[in-house]
Amino acid sequence: MSQFFNQPIPWPQPQNYPPLPGREGFFPNYMPLPLLSAAVDEAQNNIKAPRPLIFSTALAAIAVAIQGLFDVRKPNGQRVPLSLMLLTIANSGERKSTVENVFLGAIRTVQKQQNLIYQAALNEWKTELHIWETKKKAILKSIHKKAIQEEPSDDEDRRFKALESAKPTKPKQFKLLYEDATSEALFRGLHQDLPTAGLISSEGGGILNGRALNDLSKQNALWSGDSITVDRVSIESYVLADARLTVSIMAQESAFQNYMEQRGEQSRGSGLWARFLVCQPLSTQGSRTIENGTWSSEHGDKFAARLSELLQLNQALMKDSGRAKGVINFSPEASERWLNVFNAIEVEIRPNGRFAEAGDHASKLADNIARVAALFHCFEGFEGDISLDTVNSAINLCAYYSDEFIKLFIPPPQEETDANDLYYYLQNAMIGCMNIPKNHILKFGRPPHLREKSRLNPALEILCQQGRASGLSG
């Protein structure tokens, strides 16, 4: 007889270290982040999209607004950017665009306003440039004429040098969001205009199948805060230093699968996906009933207002792209917690550990925790250094993303999958009774592969080892 009785045993924790959050796979609903949490709660109530999708979109907007202003100093002393890479897999109908409009709306509004100013400045620049080119042509013509006549042109030479130094400078464009850009256009914008940007798409198939993620090594370098050299045949090469880029992709499952089939090995091998905070939340379709007709925007408006404050600070980067960034530090308590989690993650890379098959991801996990904690701290306007509560919020959130990464990129062994299938089958089949004959499973078990002894027996063994079932008699 097979008796199913309690919940899974928590994942074994390394000794001497505080435990990492367990592998429950649940999104942390509560975080002591008043401004952000209230906006997410409100959006979830209004839009009824999956909460992880909503939160990831809000987090992307925050990273875009803050990454150009601050860095974080990790407790090990290393200073790193606040840029993030986020991937949310959600199929059509999950209201991805609606969520994006709520949380990125403030950035698009400011960008649109700044574009009107830019267009006026651009027209003025074109006029000034035309006048400048006319003067240059006249001076060169005079120099050419005197050169033929073998006459001195000292006056013209001085005028020409003065004119060259007074060439009108093309205005910079306040462009933070790139949605359908090639890597060339993205890097050029970071070099010529604003040195901070977000590569954003609510229909990520375009980004995944396009050329924006072609330069994998450069994308990785930007995430790390390293300088990159952009070599081009048609234009002069340049060095992109201290630029910041956040990537947020919301893609349908089919688009992501196609990408992984075509370029998955290359992108995973490059370390690109190890840097991503990924999730594939459960669909809310079929449960989005309207309880009342009220659509509140109070907390969304406060979220947008805070973003607008931060975006005003970003405008100063157009005048001084090399402006020194502020540095966010950890409090002593938060530092101790982060270091312990860092060590716990490292231990779990061991054989049979939690991250044994995901060492690339594990090596970036503590870094992402530090970045997320700093973004929370800055966006909420908390005073002083990052607190223990804030870093715990970041740890819980990134642990969820970590579990999702493993689900997406590290397929479990067949017997583990079979054990989970059996567990869910028993939950339904044993309603109203305490046991069920094994022969019953061999005849009626679902999915059908549970009716094979070669797969049922290992699955039962795993459930018994985990304490989720007992008894193997027929």
Model confidence band, residue 269 (pLDDT cutoffs 50, 70, 90): confident
Nearest Cα to 96, choosing from 263, 255, 244, 291?
A: 255
pLDDT of residue 182: 82
Please give the full DSSP string across 83-127, using - where no structure is assigned: --EEEEE--TTS-HHHHHHHHHHHHHHHHHHHHHHHHHHHHHHHH
**249 DSSP β-pair partners:** 87, 201
| 132 class by beta-carbon count within 10 Å (0-12 exposed, 13-18 middle, 19+ buried) | middle
For 171, residues 6+ apart whose C-beta sits below 8 A from its C-beta are 118, 121, 122, 125
pLDDT of residue 177: 96
Per the CB < 8 A criterion, the answer to whether 222 and 243 are in contact is yes
pLDDT of residue 288: 84
Continuous H helices in 182-252: 183-192, 205-209, 216-224
Per the CB < 8 A criterion, the answer to whether 4 and 423 are in contact is yes
- The HSE-up count of residue 219 (CA atoms within 13 Å, CB side) is 26
Q: Write the CA distances from 194 to 62, 124, 245, 315, integer angstroms.
A: 17, 20, 11, 9
* The dihedral sign for the CA sequence 373, 375, 378, 381: negative
Query: Tokens 């994308």 correspond to what residue?
Result: 219
pLDDT digits (tens, 9 = 90+) for 7-20: 443 444 444 455 67
Residue 276 reports pLDDT greater than 50: yes
Higher pLDDT pick, 14 / 147: 147
For the chain, the first-to-last Cα distance in angstroms comes to: 6
Mean pLDDT of 108-132: 97
Mean pLDDT of 390-395: 98
Model confidence band, residue 453 (pLDDT cutoffs 50, 70, 90): confident
Please give the full DSSP string across 31-74, using - where no structure is assigned: -S-HHHHHHHHHHHHHH---HHHHHHHHHHHHHHHHTTTEEEE-
pLDDT digits (tens, 9 = 90+) for 320-342: 877 899 999 999 999 999 999 99
Q: Write the CA distances from 111 to 56, 115, 197, 308, integer angstroms.
A: 21, 6, 12, 10
Model confidence band, residue 204 (pLDDT cutoffs 50, 70, 90): low
Query: Tokens 């919301």 correspond to what residue?
Result: 250
Q: For 434, list phi and psi in degrees, rounded to 5.
A: -100, -15
Mean pLDDT of 346-357: 93
* Structure tokens that stand for 328 in this block: 């966010």
- The HSE-up count of residue 28 (CA atoms within 13 Å, CB side) is 21
pLDDT digits (tens, 9 = 90+) for 179-192: 878 888 899 999 99
Eight-state DSSP code of residue 448: G
Least confident stretch, 217-221, 262-266, 381-385? 262-266
pLDDT of residue 4: 36
Residue 44 reports pLDDT greater than 60: yes
Residue 43 reports pLDDT greater than 80: yes
For 127, residues 6+ apart whose C-beta sits below 8 A from its C-beta are none
pLDDT of residue 12: 43
Residue 34 reports pLDDT greater than 80: yes
CA distance 306 to 83: 18
Higher pLDDT pick, 319 / 249: 249
Instruction: State the span(s) of the chain assigned CATH 3.40.50.
Output: 20-110+178-285+293-409
Eight-state DSSP code of residue 467: T
Dmax (CA) of the chain: 112
pLDDT of residue 440: 83
* Structure tokens that stand for 369 in this block: 């925790």
CA distance 351 to 276: 23
If you average pLDDT over every residue of the chain, what do you get?
88
Question: What percentage of the chain carries pLDDT values higher than 90?
Answer: 62
pLDDT of residue 3: 41
Higher pLDDT pick, 72 / 2: 72
pLDDT digits (tens, 9 = 90+) for 65-108: 999 999 999 999 999 999 999 999 999 899 999 999 999 999 99
Per the CB < 8 A criterion, the answer to whether 258 and 209 are in contact is yes
**248 DSSP β-pair partners:** 86, 200
Mean pLDDT of 191-199: 94
CATH class entry, domain 20-110+178-285+293-409: alpha beta
Per the CB < 8 A criterion, the answer to whether 373 and 394 are in contact is yes
Mean pLDDT of 33-53: 96
Mean pLDDT of 294-318: 94
Model confidence band, residue 211 (pLDDT cutoffs 50, 70, 90): low
CA distance 89 to 92: 10
pLDDT digits (tens, 9 = 90+) for 214-258: 777 888 999 999 999 988 766 788 999 999 999 999 999 988 888
Model confidence band, residue 5 (pLDDT cutoffs 50, 70, 90): very low
